[in-house]
């Protein structure tokens, strides 16, 4: 009976964690297809529209690492439940917002709450499942929910926006997040590090503020890199992140153990997540807008096309657990390479193209994205000690979402390089071709770096007979 009960609780942990990942990614992605309606309703200007997209990334990237460390040391279930409850409350703020500022505050808070849910959720999975095939299958399901949320979130949001209002989508998220908080409290066992550490407050503050300034600079830079405010923010961010590194080297119990960077698998996971954010999420996030402006698709139409990419990634992530003969590092490198190949396949579409012209690229990139997400979920918990699985998850997802902010800014800057012709559809199609070339090149660089980050070969001890 005890074994059955334990098995049920383990399964419940996986279900709750996977459902939370689905909800977080659905909420993250849904704004990409309803931005025009949301901005018009709130009266947002160009900068405000930028923050409608980027606000959630600010919350995610600044809180993920801190949330992971808090979860390991003070209880993964506790942090998960608090995060889910905060997620519900911040979603209500978004649903009720009557101006851009309040909505953006709600999105930033959503990001912080999502960070707690994601970091603690993957930490719970890493603790519940032992190293081996069981963990690989569990983290594969977790990775599949990244793709599923990315696919279904925009579809639901686009449909609700056309039928009722974009606000209904946020009410739906609020209800789902509240249900997750209850499910986490009742259906998941508590776990924490065997040797809890004191809160590294200087490290937490310097990291959160430094990364927050970096993300703010990257978001504001979409209106121009030469703005004095952007330059000041970038300099301040670099200085604070440098201070964070110094602090972490000196404190006895750091929030992020920098010695982990000497582990090849941890480096592979971090680099893979970073380049996934920059060159895959950053580029793909602009494709719904490209299809609406250049090809004339509706929000629902563009969401359906993106759904093909994300849906295939879900299937591949679910199946990737069956190829345990291939290491997670190699699967990550191959996944990134496939994403790059898919982006290359999108080069050359014009305003006269049909959406089918982009389909091969979305299919190839979708397969790569699924392989990448499943491998990242495995490496995030495999590359760190068992007592630090939530920290590993937080560091990995921080790299992903900081990378996505860099990718958003980079893609916008590259699209703007298209020659002015007076035809918005033509300019956007040309700009997206430029962006696809840059994204593909960066993705392949990321694949190469991950492939080279391997454990050194172990040399057998010399025989006494020799």
Per-domain boundaries in the chain: 8-187+255-452, 200-254
What DSSP string describes 415-446?
HTTSPP-S-HHHHHHHHHHHHHHHHHHHHHHH
| Fold (topology level) of 8-187+255-452 | Growth Hormone; Chain: A; (1.20.1250)
Q: Which of 49-63, 355-369, 397-411, 449-463 has the lowest mean pLDDT?
A: 449-463
- List the helix and strand counts (H, then E) for the chain: 16, 0
Average pLDDT of the chain to the nearest whole number: 86
- Report the pLDDT value the prediction gives residue 447, as an integer from 0 to 100: 96
Band (pLDDT 50/70/90 cuts) for residue 314 is confident
Could you give the angle at which helices 264-275 and 328-345 cross, rounded to 10 degrees?
20
Half-sphere exposure of 248 (CA within 13 A, CB side): 20
Q: What percent of the chain has pLDDT above 70?
A: 94
Section 250-256 average pLDDT: 82
Contacts of 465 (CB under 8 A, 6+ apart): none
Q: How many CB atoms lie within 10 A of CB 299?
A: 24
Place of tokens 């010399």: 462
Q: Which of 183-187, 224-228, 250-254, 382-386 ranks highest by mean pLDDT?
A: 183-187
Reported as a single tens digit per residue, the pLDDT across 391-418 is: 777 788 888 888 888 888 788 888 888 8
Reported as a single tens digit per residue, the pLDDT across 32-73 is: 788 878 988 999 887 787 788 878 888 888 888 888 888 888
Section 453-457 average pLDDT: 69
- Report the pLDDT value the prediction gives residue 465, as an integer from 0 to 100: 42
What is the torsional sign of CA 291, 293, 298, 299? positive
What is the torsional sign of CA 27, 375, 387, 402? negative
Query: Which tokens is 173 given?
Result: 């998220």
DSSP alpha helices (H): ranges in 97-130? 100-128
On whether the CB atoms of residues 204 and 167 are closer than 8 A, the answer is no
- Report the pLDDT value the prediction gives residue 325, as an integer from 0 to 100: 77
Reported pTM: 0.80
DSSP 8-state assignment for residue 455:
P
């Amino acid at each position: 009976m005890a074994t059955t009960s334990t098995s049920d609780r383990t399964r419940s942990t996986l279900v709750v964690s996977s459902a939370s990942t689905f909800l977080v990614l659905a909420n993250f992605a849904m704004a990409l297809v309803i931005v025009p309606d949301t901005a018009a309703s709130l009266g947002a200007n160009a900068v405000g529209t930028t923050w409608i997209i980027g606000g959630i990334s600010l919350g995610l990237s600044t809180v993920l690492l801190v949330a992971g460390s808090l979860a390991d040391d003070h209880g993964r279930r506790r942090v998960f439940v608090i995060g889910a409850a905060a997620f519900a409350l911040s979603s209500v703020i978004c649903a009720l917002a009557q101006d851009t500022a309040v909505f953006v505050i709600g999105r930033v808070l959503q990001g912080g709450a999502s960070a707690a849910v994601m970091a603690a959720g993957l930490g719970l999975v890493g603790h519940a499942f032992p190293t081996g095939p069981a963990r690989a299958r569990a983290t594969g399901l977790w990775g599949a929910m990244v793709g599923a949320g990315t696919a279904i979130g925009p579809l639901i949001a686009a449909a609700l926006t056309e039928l009722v209002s974009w606000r209904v989508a946020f009410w739906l998220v609020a209800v789902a997040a509240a249900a997750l908080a209850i499910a986490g409290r009742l259906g998941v066992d508590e776990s924490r590090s065997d040797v809890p550490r004191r809160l590294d407050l200087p490290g937490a503050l310097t990291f959160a503020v430094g990364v927050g300034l970096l993300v703010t600079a990257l978001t504001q830079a979409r209106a121009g890199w030469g703005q004095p405010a952007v330059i000041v923010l970038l300099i301040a961010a670099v200085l604070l992140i440098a201070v964070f590194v110094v602090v972490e080297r000196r404190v006895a119990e750091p929030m992020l153990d920098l010695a982990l960077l000497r582990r090849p698998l941890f480096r592979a996971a971090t680099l893979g997540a970073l380049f996934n954010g920059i060159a895959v999420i950053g580029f793909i996030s602009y494709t719904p807008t490209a299809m609406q402006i250049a090809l004339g698709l509706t929000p629902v139409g563009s969401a359906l096309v993106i759904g093909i990419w994300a849906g295939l990634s879900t299937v591949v992530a679910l199946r990737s657990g069956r190829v345990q003969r291939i290491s997670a590092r190699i699967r990550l490198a191959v996944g990134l390479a496939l994403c790059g190949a898919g982006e290359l396949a999108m080069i050359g579409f014009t305003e006269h193209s049909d959406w089918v012209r982009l389909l091969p690229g979305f299919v190839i990139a979708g397969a790569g994205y699924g392989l990448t997400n499943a491998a990242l979920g495995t490496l995030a918990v495999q590359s760190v000690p068992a007592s630090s699985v939530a920290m590993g998850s937080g560091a990995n997802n921080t790299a992903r979402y900081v990378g996505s902010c860099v990718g958003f800014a980079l893609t916008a800057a590259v699209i703007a390089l298209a020659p002015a012709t007076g035809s918005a559809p033509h300019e956007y199609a040309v700009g997206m071709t430029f962006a696809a070339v840059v994204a593909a090149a960066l993705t392949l660089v990321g694949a190469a770096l991950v492939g080279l980050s391997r454990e050194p070969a172990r040399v057998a001890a010399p025989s006494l007979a020799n």
